[in-house]
Structure 1
Amino acid sequence: MEFPVDVALAELVPQLPTGPRWWYEVKMDGHRTVLWRLADTVRLQARSGRDVTGSWMDLAVAGMALPPGVVLDGEAVVVVDGKVSFEAAQSRAASSPARARQLAEGHPALLIVWDVLALPTGDVRARPYEQRRALMLDVLAGLPSPSPIQVVSATDDVEVARVWYDRLVASGVEGVVAKLGSAPYRAGRSSSWKKVRHAETVDAEVVGFTGAAGRPRALAVRLPDGRVALSQRLGARLAAQVAAALVGVAPAARGRAAGGESFTVAEPGLLVEVLAGTTRHAVVTVTRVR
């Protein structure tokens, strides 16, 4: 397995699936992060494949306690006043390494782990979820206590999962992910992982922008149905976050949205949330960067 790895993604559904061998995990509101324990260091990877070790150095240091060869998939979260704060995680992810270290002093991060992709013995992605979870628990049991690298809460009881969904939203839990116990770890979106969440939003890939890369006015996004639409004008905070995340921009490349609007093409990898109710129209509303 080589860095970076393509991650598995969950399909957004209106309600949890039920039936034999479905497992349910708490879905935290943070930044998707893959931890690579290499021979002599640790690297952290974002969902897009970018190296984000500098933003989460406290997690990288904690990861040195893992055996070399271990690769873990999970969510980097920051807890503020007893609640998981996406805004705090976003600030950390958008900061320089020096600023990220300062933020970590006040609010250290946690890595909530839900899968293991590799062990010192090799790649385990082809094994069923139930086997991978058992292997993951064995690996994490060897960490010193307390550790910021923690296992996600999981159950095979759908009623327990529904209680989590209903009662934990105030603590920053975004929803619940259901995973088929017999399924391997598949890159991309598949029917073996499903998620329900409280926010009425959908994920969209940024394919371009209007304005300057350092101060984008709006985003061109590819919606789940494949359409490319232009967003409403970004607020100052969102524009700054997008500007920090835009990489590999080719100023000469132009594209057109479904409505005919022209935009500057951006390299794939950046994801945003958009209000689900606005995706039926030509203009969508971006709520935050993923």
Structure 2
Amino acid sequence: MEVALARVVPTLPTAPPGRRLAYEPKFDGHRLLIFRLVDTVRMQARSGRIVTRAFPDLEAAARPLPPGTVLDGEVVVWAGGRTDFAAVQKRAFAASESRAGRLARELPASYAAFDLLAIGAEDLRPLPYEQRRARLMALLEPLGPPLQAVPMTTDPELAATWYEALPEIGVEGLVIKDLDQPYRPGRHWRKLRHSEARDAVVVGVVGPRLRPRALALVLPGDDAPVISAPLSTGVRAQLGSALRDLPDPQPPPAELPTALDRVGAEIAYRPIAPDLTVEVRHESTVRHAATTVMRLRIPD
């Protein structure tokens, strides 16, 4: 299923006369659709990849949902009172069932649901967001964590307060939706961020392993790697010792995976364990998107 997306706006939108807006915190996690089927639970990442095995704790939590339920939301992992994007990516890219189970115990996931797309045999996507939101709240309220609805307000003043206060817990912006809007693929929502600087998880290197020319990165809200712009000399030096400490993937892939670079070319990269986080600046234009690595994130 293709998901709805948001386009970046420079200021907090307010509703024109006769319309109302909804404001939600924007979590930088792992976008996930949950399908409660008749006899099983299936989870789909934004790219379409099925990632059920990576989240056994959320699979168990979703089993009480009525068959036919489809949720859209974001997986987050909380650490020290803040969301931890690197931790949720470790969960999402768990390579084996045993590792997924161990990470579920060490880094338990929460699911911030922001839409209900179906329940039973009823497709809710044509309904206005206001109605889908009411149905979502009624569905999840009896269940409680780790499945819970993302907070929402229609008060622009409260939204502005959230925007200023929530970065302390790792929430870097807001998503804005029309209350009368159906759910459809494409960038029909809006998002306001404090900065276009974001954290990204390193999943591979382009070129020599210890002196890479570029990195394969996973950005918040997506699981399809992208190739960064060429690394600066300073960033390459900073990455050297960190990459040296990472084990090589076992077994090594028979064929190197590829990802798109900033001009849409397929570039091969060497996979590495998703244990490094970098700060990036992601800039989109009409022709392409460039992801520039600013620095390596050093764990506290």
Alignment deviations for residues 125-158 of structure 1 (CA, whole Å, 9 cap, x no partner): 1111111111111211342xx4300011000001
Shift of 1:98: 1.8
Query: Which letter does structure 1 place at the counterpart of 2:178?
Result: L
**Which SS does the other structure have where 1:75 is aligned?**
strand
Alignment deviations for residues 62-114 of structure 1 (CA, whole Å, 9 cap, x no partner): 00010000000000011112211112112211222322221221331110000
Shift of 1:198: 2.4
Counterpart for residue 13 of structure 2: 17
Once residues 276 and 117 of structure 1 are traced to their aligned partners in structure 2, the CA distance between those partners, rounded to angstroms, is 30
Would the aligned equivalents of 2:85 and 2:199 in 1 still touch at CA under 8 Å? no
Counterpart for residue 284 of structure 1: 292
Shift of 1:160: 0.5
Q: 1:32 to 1:282 in 2, by over 3 A?
A: closer
Query: Which letter does structure 1 place at the counterpart of 2:293?
Result: T
Shift of 1:249: 7.3
Would the aligned equivalents of 2:282 and 2:290 in 1 still touch at CA under 8 Å? no
Could you tell me the TM-score, scaled by structure 1's length? Answer: 0.74
Query: Which letter does structure 1 place at the counterpart of 2:75?
Result: A
Q: Residues 27-42 of structure 1: matches in 2 within 5 Å?
A: 27-42=26-41
Once residues 254 and 93 of structure 1 are traced to their aligned partners in structure 2, the CA distance between those partners, rounded to angstroms, is 18
Q: Residues 121-136 of structure 1: matches in 2 within 5 Å?
A: 121-136=121-136
Matched, 1:275 2:281: yes
Would the aligned equivalents of 2:5 and 2:185 in 1 still touch at CA under 8 Å? yes
Counterpart for residue 188 of structure 1: 186
Counterpart for residue 85 of structure 1: 84
Q: 1:24 to 1:121 in 2, by over 3 A?
A: same
How many percent identity over aligned positions?
A: 45
Matched, 1:120 2:120: yes
**Which SS does the other structure have where 1:155 is aligned?**
coil
Gaps of 5+ in 1: 222-227, 266-271
Corresponding residue to 1:153 among 151, 159, 168: 151
Query: Which letter does structure 2 place at the counterpart of 1:113?
Result: A
Shift of 1:201: 3.8
Alignment deviations for residues 211-230 of structure 1 (CA, whole Å, 9 cap, x no partner): 499x9742599xxxxxx984
Shift of 1:174: 2.1
Query: For the aligned residues, what is the CA RMSD?
Result: 4.1
Corresponding residue to 2:4 among 8, 11, 17: 8
Q: Residues 132-143 of structure 1: matches in 2 within 5 Å?
A: 132-143=132-143
Q: How many residue pairs were aligned?
A: 260
Once residues 24 and 43 of structure 1 are traced to their aligned partners in structure 2, the CA distance between those partners, rounded to angstroms, is 28
Once residues 10 and 287 of structure 1 are traced to their aligned partners in structure 2, the CA distance between those partners, rounded to angstroms, is 26
Once residues 203 and 179 of structure 1 are traced to their aligned partners in structure 2, the CA distance between those partners, rounded to angstroms, is 25
Q: 1:250 to 1:92 in 2, by over 3 A?
A: closer
Shift of 1:199: 3.3
Once residues 211 and 112 of structure 1 are traced to their aligned partners in structure 2, the CA distance between those partners, rounded to angstroms, is 37
Counterpart for residue 163 of structure 1: 161
**Which SS does the other structure have where 1:23 is aligned?**
strand
Would the aligned equivalents of 2:141 and 2:148 in 1 still touch at CA under 8 Å? no
Would the aligned equivalents of 1:231 and 1:286 in 2 still touch at CA under 8 Å? no
Query: Which letter does structure 1 place at the counterpart of 2:193?
Result: R
Would the aligned equivalents of 2:36 and 2:63 in 1 still touch at CA under 8 Å? yes
Would the aligned equivalents of 1:254 and 1:263 in 2 still touch at CA under 8 Å? yes
**Which SS does the other structure have where 1:50 is aligned?**
coil
Could you tell me the TM-score, scaled by structure 2's length? Answer: 0.72
Would the aligned equivalents of 2:33 and 2:72 in 1 still touch at CA under 8 Å? yes
Shift of 1:202: 7.8
Q: 1:126 to 1:201 in 2, by over 3 A?
A: farther
Once residues 255 and 112 of structure 1 are traced to their aligned partners in structure 2, the CA distance between those partners, rounded to angstroms, is 29
Query: Which letter does structure 1 place at the counterpart of 2:281?
Result: L
Q: 1:87 to 1:220 in 2, by over 3 A?
A: closer
Once residues 281 and 32 of structure 1 are traced to their aligned partners in structure 2, the CA distance between those partners, rounded to angstroms, is 20
Counterpart for residue 110 of structure 2: 110
